[in-house]
Amino acid sequence: MKKLSTLFFLLFAFFVAQAQVKEPVKWTSKIEKKSATEYILVFNATIEDNWHMYSQFSDENGAIPLEVIFNNNKGNYTPVGKAAESKTEKAFNDTFGVTETFWSHNAQLRQTIKITNAANEVIQVELAYQVCKEVCIQGSNLFEFNTKTLKSKEVKNFEAVAVAAAPKKDAVSAVPAVSDTVTVQATEQATELPTQSADTTKVADTTTKSAKSDKDDESETSPFNIFLGTLLAGIFVTFTPCVFPMIPMTVSFFIKQNTSKAKGKFNAVFYGICIIAIYVLLSLPFHIFEGVDGNIFADISTNVYLNVFFFLVFVIFAVSFFGAFEITIPSSLANKADNASNLGGLAGIFFMALTLIIVSFSCTGPALGLVFGTVLSSDGGATLVSLAMFGFGLGLAMPFMVFALFPSLMANLPKSGGWLNTVKVVFGFIELALAFKFLSNADLVLQLHYLEREVFLGIWIAIFAVLALYLFGKFSMPHDSPVPFLSVGRMLLGVLAFAFTVYLVPGLWGAPLKLLSGITPPLNYSESPFGFGGSGGAPVASTEKLPDGAEVAVHGIIAFEDYDKGLAYAKTVNKPVLLDFTGRACVNCRKMEEGVWIDPEVLTILKNDVVLISLYGDEQIDLPENEQFISKYSGRKITTVGKKWSDFQLGKYNSNARPYYVLMGLDEKNLNDPVAYTPDIKEYLKWLQDGVANFK
């Protein structure tokens, strides 16, 4: 297990390794006194060979123009016109059909400012710019000038990630802009990253046998649900600053590069297929791991340390989304892939796709981590990992292929702008919320009660309340552009976030929150397990003595967690047994308890007509030394209570599904066919009624 943890630590460490991209522009600055109230701020840039930085007067429909941002001018000073520029060059960009203005090698800006507050001595100015070669990079540098000492310094360099691979052409103008300008606050660092989500929380056990229930296709980790969730994640990622601006530029490149439109469309579709293939290839190591150790996914799904590690990774990604820092793959990899794209033909197109994947990692990485976190904590094995990667790759590649086949649709694409960063920040809030589900999994498995239902909900309420305030424009993040007014879309998202926050609040007092069944800790894992003025359940009367080995479970049901004690009690009261194979961190188990068991007719049967025995397959309590054994079904050493019940379920019922329900008589024979996840209340109620009737 230690080797397994180390393996996955190294795997994810690769994905979150921070390596700053190359800085092709170096800046110096100085301040000159023009008169008693006027000063000239001078910015000198040295640009590496073959790179081009775009002028503030460049056509906005092409590359992103340079922007001079005055951070502390209000009430202190006013800029006198636009900054004067040194000699620039011009070239026609046939991708966008505009003439762009840019610098090569060197550039100078001279900005005159007039002092309006003599008491203020510090002037803070930020330069936001775009520089392109094979890739385009957005940079943002903050400078501080002192009018008293006439000294200047570069406070921070917010060098951004390479955001796109530009197609190779002979002309300078072939290097188009692909991203929008970002406004960076003076006291924070830059970032880029996005995500969308699939269900990240199902933790299930598996064994070397392939035992499936006919209900498995309805679970949260069914192949269809995983494919759909990861497909949507891939599509959402395209609406981020690293990917969205690439769509029209790449499609236009393929269509205009070839004299034959059919050939251009074929190349663009092949480009999308390459994106899909590369992501699927990333899943191949997991097939090797599974071949070496068939229980690897069981270890992952129930491993506390890995759940905590996923929590930390998601928090890092979320903080990066917010603008604290950049997460990128080393630029040397992007350069090697980009150079390989010069091969031409289909091989060149493959490496163009690889370049896109590498340079857009700051935006796709968090979503990719979400995909891995979802599937690795499921019981689907390596095949499901490959399916998830296929879905994610297809979602990312679809826009490139669709717009290549139907280029007229590009006219309907919205223009790149500050809204892209807003999307990224929203994903950051969602990523942060989902991170706490992994931490909750670990807490539930260990039964530490640190992250009980009220604490978990309190954290989520705070996260989504802050998200609502952000969407309503009450504050901004480092990369946000100024918001003069709220767009309709942003306002509606804010309303949705606020409504969701309001929905969460009653859960603090015991409301079931059925929409989040399986995501939040269960109702009985709470400071007030029976609800505080809510519907968490009804406590057993203080005068009622619980049977030996029993405890009060969800909704006030008396339940046993030991098979022998539960069966013995059932014989004394002459009632059938309901075996509930479940898990502390099982999503679908919670969905059944909070969405089906709460039904009045179902709850009546569970409280009065059966004896409930809940066997937790992920229980981490060690068995006494004399009770440990080697399983004759899996060959594994059974050392914990959870492994004991999982082995029992596999051996007796040839199933490892969770939840899994068995109604049996006092002779331990089934009263009807066992069922797994059955979210339909009427269907589950009929199954209970039939089993109880057969017992009678």
CATH no. for residue 73?
2.60.40.1250
Cross-strand pairs, 43: 29, 109
- Is 539 or 231 the better-scoring residue by pLDDT? 231
Per-residue pLDDT at 504: 95
DSSP 8-state assignment for residue 85: E
Q: 630 is written with which tokens?
A: 């080697």
Please determine, for residue 293, whether its predicted confidence score (pLDDT) is greater than 60: no
Phi, psi of 542, deg, nearest 5 = -65, -25
Question: Cα 195 from chain centroid?
Answer: 4
Pair 348, 228 in one domain: yes
- What does pTM read for this prediction? 0.55
- Is 341 or 638 the better-scoring residue by pLDDT? 638
Per-residue pLDDT at 662: 96
Residue 223 preceded by cis peptide, ω within 30: no
Q: Which amino acid is at 544?
A: E
Per-residue pLDDT at 330: 65
Q: Confidence band (pLDDT; 50, 70, 90) for 358? A: confident
Q: Distance (Å, rounded) from C-alpha 462 to C-alpha 104?
A: 48
Residue 429 domain-assigned (yes or no): no
Per-residue pLDDT at 380: 58
Pair 130, 268 in one domain: no
Average pLDDT over residues 419-445: 87
Question: Mean pLDDT in the chain?
Answer: 78
Domain of 677, CATH number, reads 3.40.30.10
What percent of the chain shows pLDDT beyond 70? Answer: 77
Residue 103 domain-assigned (yes or no): yes
- Is 557 or 157 the better-scoring residue by pLDDT? 557
Per-residue pLDDT at 258: 61
Q: Distance (Å, rounded) from C-alpha 401 to C-alpha 353?
A: 12
Average pLDDT over residues 345-368: 79
Average pLDDT over residues 538-543: 44
Pair 234, 383 in one domain: yes
Last residue of a domain, one of 416, 438, 467: 416
pLDDT in tens, 157-181: 544 444 443 433 333 333 333 333 3
Residue 495 domain-assigned (yes or no): no
Per-residue pLDDT at 484: 82
- Residue ranges of alpha helices (H) inside 505-599 are 563-573, 587-595
Please determine, for residue 24, whether its predicted confidence score (pLDDT) is greater than 80: yes
Pair 228, 308 in one domain: yes
pLDDT in tens, 459-482: 999 999 999 999 999 998 888 888
Pair 158, 276 in one domain: no
Please determine, for residue 151, whether its predicted confidence score (pLDDT) is greater than 60: yes
Residue 439 domain-assigned (yes or no): no
Pair 241, 158 in one domain: no
Average pLDDT over residues 354-369: 76
**Which range marks the domain in which residue 259 is found?**
222-416
- Is 10 or 489 the better-scoring residue by pLDDT? 489
Average pLDDT over residues 134-148: 80
User: Which of 184-188, 255-259, 336-340, 666-670 tops mean pLDDT?
Assistant: 666-670
Q: 443 is written with which tokens?
A: 């807490």
Residue 114 domain-assigned (yes or no): yes
Please determine, for residue 256, whether its predicted confidence score (pLDDT) is greater than 80: no
Q: Confidence band (pLDDT; 50, 70, 90) for 298? A: low
Residue 181 domain-assigned (yes or no): no
Per-residue pLDDT at 611: 96
Average pLDDT over residues 82-102: 85
Q: Confidence band (pLDDT; 50, 70, 90) for 351? A: confident
pLDDT in tens, 69-85: 898 888 899 999 999 99
Average pLDDT over residues 667-686: 93
Per-residue pLDDT at 168: 37
Please determine, for residue 530, whether its predicted confidence score (pLDDT) is greater than 70: no
Counting DSSP H helices and E strands in the chain, the numbers are: 19, 20
Region of poorest pLDDT, from 23-32, 106-115, 153-162, 613-622: 153-162
Residue 659 preceded by cis peptide, ω within 30: yes
Domains contained in the chain, number: 3
DSSP 8-state assignment for residue 560: E
Of the candidates 151, 101, 356, which has an alpha carbon nearest to the alpha carbon of residue 253?
356
Residue 233 domain-assigned (yes or no): yes
Pair 249, 394 in one domain: yes
Please determine, for residue 559, whether its predicted confidence score (pLDDT) is greater than 70: yes
Please determine, for residue 616, whether its predicted confidence score (pLDDT) is greater than 80: yes
Of the candidates 361, 380, 435, which has an alpha carbon nearest to the alpha carbon of residue 227?
380
Residue 532 domain-assigned (yes or no): no
Residue 53 Ramachandran class (φ > 0 left, ψ -120 to 50 alpha, else beta): beta
DSSP 8-state assignment for residue 675: B
Q: Confidence band (pLDDT; 50, 70, 90) for 655? A: confident
Last residue of a domain, one of 377, 392, 416: 416
The three-state DSSP-derived secondary structure of 442-471 is HHHHHCCCCCCHHHHHHHHHHHHHHHHHHH
Per-residue pLDDT at 77: 92
Of the candidates 246, 265, 247, which has an alpha carbon nearest to the alpha carbon of residue 256?
265
pLDDT in tens, 318-334: 888 888 877 666 666 66
Per-residue pLDDT at 299: 56
Q: 163 is written with which tokens?
A: 């955001």
CB 348, CB 257: distance < 8 Å: no
Q: Distance (Å, rounded) from C-alpha 332 to C-alpha 558?
A: 61
Strands 577-582 and 611-616: parallel
Average pLDDT over residues 572-580: 96
Per-residue pLDDT at 177: 36
Pair 244, 168 in one domain: no
Per-residue pLDDT at 187: 33
Q: Confidence band (pLDDT; 50, 70, 90) for 14? A: very low
Per-residue pLDDT at 198: 34
Q: Confidence band (pLDDT; 50, 70, 90) for 341? A: low
Half-sphere exposure of 456 (CA within 13 A, CB side): 29
Last residue of a domain, one of 136, 153, 174: 174
Strand boundaries in 373-473, DSSP class E: none
Q: Is 321 helix (H, G, I), strand (E, B) or coil?
A: helix
Burial (Cβ within 10 Å: 0-12, 13-18, ≥19) of residue 10: exposed
| 361 contacts: CB under 8 Å, gap ≥ 6 | 15, 161, 242, 327, 328, 329
Per-residue pLDDT at 415: 73
Per-residue pLDDT at 357: 81
The three-state DSSP-derived secondary structure of 97-162 is CEEEEEECCEEEEEEEEEECCCCCCEEEEEEEEEEECCEEEEEEEEEEEECCCCEEEEEEECCCCE
Of the candidates 616, 690, 691, 692, which has an alpha carbon nearest to the alpha carbon of residue 659?
616
Per-residue pLDDT at 190: 33
